[in-house]
Amino acid sequence: MAGKLFIAGNWKMNTSLSEATALAGALVEKIGSVKTVDMAVCPPFPYLSGVKEALGGSKIALGAQDVFYEDSGAYTGEVSTEMLKDVGCSYAICGHSERRHVIGETDELINRKVLKCISDGIMPILCVGELLTQRQANETIDVVSRQIRLGLEGVSSADISGVTIAYEPVWAIGTGVTATPDQAQEVHAMIRALLGEIYDTPTAGGIRIQYGGSVKPDNAAELMNCPDIDGALVGGASLKADDFAGIVLEGIK
């Protein structure tokens, strides 16, 4: 296992400002002083500042759901790393499957975001994962390997330790269908081996690989107990303070 578990909540396009700050406040109360697991929440862009304030001096870090690779200028709708840092973000999700498959982001675009995060001191969470049709066609390893290789193109071994990989099989996201611990561990082990090829084995051993896809308090422990699973990226369950706190508390056991 790569050091401390890292559990992040991806709120996606949900909550109002008051719901977002209330959720953050409830999390601070329940798990705000947990030191043995790294934690982050990723609210929608407009609520980052408000949530940061609600998180206060707690141990829960702030992340963004996306980022752009330019510093500033005529990029309507985009948000820069400096803007994210300005409002207190430490992390940014890059290449979430919904951005790949709904918005159409390519591996090349995602790689530029990852590189920009690294150069500006935001820790990227690079998401990878296969579609159901790709799993059924036995393409999981090919798809995930390609996403990792292209997503990490140009990331040096000195910089890779600040990168988190999130393996999220698309068929398990928001569906209530979770990959079994064996299915997840198999892909995580493959990812770790690939990172060992790209970098080296000790370096690969230190890179955190989260699992994502219908993680809940009642399946979190069996997933995070797998040798190559170093935490979770949580969607739906991160919108309920009890559930997200429950997942974090499973990680402490």
C-beta closer to ligand PGA: residue 74 or 102? 102
Task: Give the integer Cα–Cα distance in Å for 157 and 161.
Answer: 7
Interaction of residue 65 with ligand PGA, rule CB under 6 A:
no
Residues 26 to 45: which contact ligand PGA by CB under 6 A?
Answer: none
Q: Which of 92, 128, 215, 224 binds ligand PGA (CB under 6 A)?
A: 215
- The answer to whether 119 and 83 are in contact (CB under 8 A) is no
Q: Which of 43, 124, 212, 231 binds ligand PGA (CB under 6 A)?
A: 212
Residue 242, Cβ neighbours under 10 Å: how many? 12
Interaction of residue 10 with ligand PGA, rule CB under 6 A:
yes
Collapsed DSSP state (helix, strand, coil) of residue 27: helix
Q: Are strands 60-64 and 231-234 parallel, antiparallel or unpaired?
A: unpaired
Q: Which residue has 């399946």 as its token pair?
A: 219
168 in catalytic set: yes
Collapsed DSSP state (helix, strand, coil) of residue 86: helix
User: How far from the centroid of its chain's Cα atoms is residue 202's Cα?
Assistant: 22
Q: Which of 38, 127, 121, 110 is nearest to 84 (CA)?
A: 121
Q: Which of 98, 168, 188, 250 is catalytic?
A: 168
70 in catalytic set: no
Q: Which of 214, 228, 231, 248 binds ligand PGA (CB under 6 A)?
A: 214
Q: Structure tokens of 91? A: 């992390």
Q: Which of 96, 98, 188, 250 is catalytic?
A: 96
Residues 145 to 174: which contact ligand PGA by CB under 6 A?
Answer: 168, 173-174
Count CA atoms closer than 13 A to 63's CA, side-chain side.
28
Interaction of residue 191 with ligand PGA, rule CB under 6 A:
no
Interaction of residue 233 with ligand PGA, rule CB under 6 A:
yes
Total chain residues near ligand PGA (CB under 6 A):
13
> Which residues participate in catalysis according to the annotation?
96, 168
Binding residues (CB under 6 A) for ligand PGA: these are 10, 168, 173-174, 212-215, 233-237
